[in-house]
C-alpha cells in the first residue's frame, strides 16, 4: 500500500517563524485570506435597512423622517419635494430592503440655502478607535449601494459641532448605470484636527446629498472647517418629477479597502438601533403596556425594562394610551441602566394601582422613547 502524503497544514497556514510580531501576524492573515478584525468590522448600524421600528414602510415628504432606523431624511430651503420610505426590494448584498426617495414636486434650480440629504449618525463610543482629532487618525472606506439618475453625486463626512470639520467626496453614475443597482467606494483619510466626540454624543456623520445649495457646498478631497453636505458639482435630484434615489448595503470600514458586504444579524442590529430608539405600538384596542400606580387624578408612574441601555435619557412621545380609562397626555423618563421609569400626566385617573393600555375606543396607541443623534 502506498501512503498518501499528508499536507503540512501548519506550514501552509502560517509559513512564519512565530505569531508574536506584526509581520508574522500579517503573513498569517494573508495565508488564510482574512483581514484584521478592525478592517472587517462594519461601523454602520442598520446599513441593510432591515429595521424600521417607527414608520414601517410608510412614505413621507417630511424633513426629519426616518424611513428606517438610524437613517434620517433631512432638508431645508427648498420648494420641491421628495417622498421617502423603506422599500421591499432585494439588494445585491442580500438584504430584502433598501430606502428610496422619489421626487413628487420638481425644483429646477436650488437656492444657496437649499439642501436635501439622507444622513447616518454614529455614536462617539462606536467610532472612538478611529482616533479622529489625533495624529494617529485612521483612514476609513465607505461602501454603499445606490440606484440613481446619471450624474455627479456627493457624500460628506462630518462630526459634532465641536469638531466643526467636513470632508466631501464625489461619485459618478454613468448613463449606462442610471436606474441600476451599483456599488460605490469612498476612501477618506482620518481627520487629524478638531475635537471629535468619543463618548455617547455625536461621533461621526455620513451624508448622502440629494441637492446642495451654494451655502452647503465644499470642494471635494480634503478636511476643512465648517459644516457642508455636498460638492459644487452635486446633481440636482429635485430637477425632474419621478427621479428615484435608492440607498442600500451601507458599510464603513477602517482602512483603505472594503470586504464583500455581509448582511448583519437582525437581532444584533435591532439592539443597536434600540439604543437610540425604542418604540412600543399596537393597532389593537386594550393591549396592556405596563402596571402603574396613579399618585393623583392627573399623574401616574410605571416602569419598563428595556432590551438595552439607551444612549441617553430619552424624550418620550405618547399617543392613544390610558391609565384604566384616564387618557395620558404626556410623559417623561428617567433611566437606571436599562430600566426606564416613566412619569405620565393626564386626567381622570383613579388614585391607586392601575394599568397602562391602548385605548379601547378607536384602538391603537404608542410610546416612543427617542435618544437619537
CA angle 313, 319, 323 (to 5 degrees): 90
Alpha carbons 170 and 187: distance in angstroms, whole number: 11
What is the share, in percent, of the chain residues with pLDDT greater than 70? 89
Say which CATH class 40-266 falls into. mainly beta
* Predicted TM-score of the model (pTM): 0.89
Q: Is residue 79 over pLDDT 60?
A: yes
**Average pLDDT for the chain:** 92
- Sequence-ordered list of residues with C-beta below 8 angstroms from that of 270, at least 6 positions apart, any chain: 51
The per-residue pLDDT for range 214-273, each reduced to its tens digit, is: 999 999 999 999 999 999 999 999 999 999 999 999 999 999 999 999 999 999 999 999
Q: Is residue 90 over pLDDT 90?
A: yes
Which grid coordinates belong to 7? 499536507
The per-residue pLDDT for range 167-213, each reduced to its tens digit, is: 999 999 999 999 999 999 999 999 999 999 999 999 999 999 999 99
What's the residue count for the chain?
A: 373
The per-residue pLDDT for range 301-340, each reduced to its tens digit, is: 999 999 999 999 999 999 999 999 899 999 999 999 999 9
Q: What is the rounded (10 degree) CA torsion for 148, 149, 150, 152?
A: -70
Alpha carbons 259 and 47: distance in angstroms, whole number: 15
Q: What is the mean pLDDT of residues 119-147?
A: 98
The per-residue pLDDT for range 328-373, each reduced to its tens digit, is: 999 999 999 999 999 999 999 999 999 999 987 677 899 999 999 9
Q: What is the per-residue burial (b if ≥16 Cβ within 10 Å, else e) of 85-112? A: bbbeeebebebebbbbbbbeebbeebee
Domain ranges within the chain, ordered by starting residue = 40-266, 275-370
CA distances (Å), origin 298, targets 293, 345, 346, 361: 11, 6, 5, 20
Q: Is residue 27 over pLDDT 90?
A: no
Place of cell 470642494: 219
Q: Is residue 36 over pLDDT 60?
A: no
Strand order across the beta sheet in which 277-282 lies: 277-282, 365-370, 315-319
Q: Is residue 148 over pLDDT 80?
A: yes
Straight-line distance from the first to the last Cα atom of the chain, in angstroms, rounded to the nearest whole number: 70
Which 8-state DSSP code applies to residue 157? Answer: E
Amino acid at each position: 500500500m502506498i501512503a498518501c502524503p499528508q499536507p503540512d497544514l501548519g506550514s501552509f497556514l502560517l509559513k512564519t517563524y512565530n505569531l508574536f510580531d506584526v509581520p508574522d501576524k500579517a503573513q498569517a492573515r494573508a495565508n488564510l485570506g482574512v483581514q484584521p478584525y478592525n478592517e472587517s468590522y462594519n461601523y454602520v448600524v442598520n446599513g441593510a435597512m432591515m429595521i424600521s421600528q417607527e414608520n414601517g414602510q410608510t412614505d413621507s415628504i417630511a424633513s426629519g423622517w426616518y424611513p428606517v432606523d438610524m437613517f434620517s431624511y433631512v432638508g431645508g430651503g427648498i420648494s420641491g419635494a421628495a417622498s421617502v420610505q423603506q422599500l421591499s426590494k432585494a439588494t445585491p448584498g442580500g438584504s430584502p430592503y433598501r430606502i428610496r426617495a422619489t421626487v413628487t414636486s420638481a425644483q429646477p434650480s436650488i437656492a444657496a440655502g437649499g439642501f436635501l440629504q439622507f444622513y447616518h449618525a454614529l455614536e462617539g463610543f462606536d467610532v472612538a478607535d478611529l482616533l479622529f482629532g489625533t495624529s494617529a487618525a485612521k483612514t476609513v472606506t465607505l461602501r454603499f449601494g445606490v440606484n440613481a439618475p446619471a450624474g455627479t453625486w456627493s457624500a460628506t463626512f462630518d462630526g459634532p459641532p465641536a469638531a466643526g470639520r467636513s470632508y466631501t467626496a464625489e461619485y459618478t453614475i454613468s448613463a449606462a448605470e442610471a436606474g441600476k443597482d451599483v456599488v460605490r467606494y469612498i476612501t477618506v483619510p482620518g481627520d487629524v484636527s478638531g475635537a471629535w466626540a468619543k463618548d455617547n454624543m455625536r461621533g461621526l456623520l455620513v451624508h448622502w446629498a440629494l441637492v446642495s445649495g451654494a451655502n452647503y457646498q465644499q470642494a471635494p478631497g480634503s478636511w476643512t472647517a465648517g459644516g457642508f453636505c455636498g460638492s459644487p458639482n452635486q446633481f440636482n435630484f429635485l430637477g425632474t418629477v419621478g427621479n428615484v434615489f435608492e440607498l442600500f448595503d451601507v458599510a464603513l470600514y477602517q482602512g483603505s479597502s472594503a470586504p464583500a458586504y455581509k448582511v448583519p444579524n437582525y437581532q444584533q442590529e435591532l439592539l443597536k438601533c434600540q439604543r437610540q430608539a425604542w418604540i412600543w405600538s399596537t393597532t389593537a384596542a386594550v393591549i396592556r403596556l405596563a402596571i402603574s400606580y396613579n399618585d393623583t387624578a392627573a399623574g401616574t408612574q410605571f416602569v419598563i425594562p428595556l432590551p438595552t441601555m439607551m444612549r441617553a435619557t430619552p424624550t418620550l412621545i405618547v399617543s392613544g394610551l390610558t391609565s384604566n380609562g384616564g387618557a395620558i397626555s404626556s410623559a417623561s423618563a428617567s433611566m437606571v441602566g436599562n430600566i426606564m421609569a416613566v412619569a405620565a400626566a393626564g386626567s381622570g385617573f383613579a388614585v391607586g394601582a392601575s394599568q397602562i393600555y391602548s385605548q379601547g375606543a378607536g384602538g391603537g396607541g404608542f410610546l416612543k422613547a427617542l435618544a437619537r443623534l
